[in-house]
Amino acid sequence: MMRVLITDFQADAGFEREVLPGVEVDALLSLIGHPPTPADLVRAVEERPAEVLITWYEMFFDAPTLVALSRAGVRGIVRAGVGYDNIDVRAAITAGITVCYVPDYGTDEVADHAMALLLWCLRDLGAALPTATRPEAWWDATRFASIQRLQGSTLALLGFGRIGQATARRAQSFGLNVRWYDPYVPRGQDKVTRTTRVESLPDLLQGCDALSIHCSLNDETRHMIDASALVLLPPHAVVVNTARGPIIDEQALYEALLTGGLAAAAIDVLEHEPPVDNALFDAYLRGELQNLLLTPHVAWYSQQSARELRRKAAEEAGRLLRGEPPFNPVT
C-alpha cells in the first residue's frame, strides 16, 4: 500500500485518510509522541517507507536530510502552506525529490487580516487600549489628532501575487490609492487592477502612507525592509507584515517605532517563531510599544481555510503518488 507521512505540527491524520482512500496516511508526531526532528523523520521512513511527505513549518529539510530521505524512497514533499523556505529546493531537486506547495488556500483570510492590521494602524486604535494613557486622560479625543482620512491615502504593496492583489482590491474599496513593486509580475497587471506599478523599492516607499508586505521569503527579500529602507518611509507611515518575518529587520523596525521614525506597525510574522530573546516581542509584551500590534501567525487561519489547506495538500500528495503532474510544483 502506498504511504504518506505527515512530518510535523499535526498529530491527527484522519482527514487526510478520507481524502486519500486506499492510501496509508500517518502523522509522525503521533507515532513518536514528541515534536520530531529531521533525524526522527529519516529514521521513520527508513523503518517504514513513505513515498510522499506532507510537511508544515516545524520541519527543516537541508541537503543531507533530503539525500537520506531520497535514499529511503521519498519521491515528493508537499508543503502545507504558501511559503517553502524551510526546504532547500535545489537540494531536493538534486536528490530527485519533487517539492510542491499550496499557494491558494488562504488568500482571502490573509488579505482580510492585512486590512484589519492596516486599519488598526491608520485609525490609531492602539490609543484606545486601556493601557495607552492614564484613566483620566483616556476620553481625551485629541490623542487621535494625527489620524488622516483613508480616502486618497497611498498604500504601498511589496509583492503583487494572489494575496497582494486581493489586498489591493480591499484597500481600493476604502478609497486608498494602491501602488506596488514586484519585478516578477507580468507587465500590464497594473492596468487590469487599476493600480500603479513602480520599478524600484525606493519608488515604492517614498511618500507612501502605509506599507504592506506580501512577497515570498528568499535570499533576495531577506531583510529587504531594513534600516535603509525604513528611513525612506515618511514618519507618519505604518508597516504591516503578513508574509514572512525575516523580510523585515526586526531590530531596525523596533528602533524606528521607538524613535518616531514610524507611526505604527502591525505584524503577524516574526523572524523566529515562536519568538525567543526577541527585543520587539519582549517590548510588546511589556506594553512598551503602544504603536505595535502583534498576532501569532494566524493571518492564514479560518476553520474553512484550515480544511482547504489540508485537503489540497493531501490531493497534491495523491497526484504525486499516482505519478500525475502536480498542480503546484516548485521549480
Q: Are 179 and 195 in contact (CB under 8 A)?
A: yes
Q: Are 161 and 182 in contact (CB under 8 A)?
A: yes
- Give Cα separations from 175 to 64, 195, 280, 285 (angstroms): 51, 12, 32, 34
Q: What strand order describes the sheet that includes 292-294?
A: 196-197, 177-181, 154-158, 210-213, 238-241, 264-267, 292-294
DSSP string, 200-236: SHHHHHTT-SEEEE-PPPSTTTTT-BSHHHHTTS-TT
Indicate whether 199 pLDDT > 90: yes
Marked catalytic residue, from 244, 250, 310, 316 = 244
Q: 80 and 56, same structural domain?
A: yes
**328 located within any domain:** no
Q: 124 and 31, same structural domain?
A: no
Average confidence (pLDDT) over 294-303: 97
Marked catalytic residue, from 24, 255, 273, 315 = 273
Query: Which pLDDT tens digit goes with each residue over 54-104?
Result: 999 999 999 999 999 999 999 999 999 998 999 999 999 999 999 999 999
Indicate whether 225 pLDDT > 90: yes
Which of the four pLDDT bands, split at 50, 70 and 90, describes residue 243? very high
Q: 198 and 141, same structural domain?
A: yes
Q: 250 and 111, same structural domain?
A: yes
Q: Is the CA virtual torsion 271, 275, 278, 282 positive or negative?
A: positive
Q: 258 and 217, same structural domain?
A: yes
In the residue annotation, 43 being an active-site residue is answered as no
CA–CA separation, 246 and 262 (whole Å): 19
pLDDT, residue 331, reads: 84
Marked catalytic residue, from 123, 162, 222, 297 = 297
pLDDT, residue 265, reads: 98
Q: 275 and 314, same structural domain?
A: no
What total number of domains does the chain contain? Answer: 2
Q: 137 and 273, same structural domain?
A: yes
Q: 221 and 151, same structural domain?
A: yes
Neighbours of 139 (CB within 10 A): 8
Q: 111 and 100, same structural domain?
A: no
Supply the mean pLDDT for the chain. 96
In the residue annotation, 169 being an active-site residue is answered as no
**Domain limits at 36?**
3-105+303-321
**326 located within any domain:** no
In the residue annotation, 236 being an active-site residue is answered as no
Q: Are 82 and 103 in contact (CB under 8 A)?
A: yes
Which of the four pLDDT bands, split at 50, 70 and 90, describes residue 132? confident
**281 located within any domain:** yes
Q: Are 85 and 217 in contact (CB under 8 A)?
A: yes
Indicate whether 131 pLDDT > 90: no
25: domain CATH number is 3.40.50.720
pLDDT, residue 1, reads: 80
Q: 314 and 203, same structural domain?
A: no
Average confidence (pLDDT) over 310-328: 98
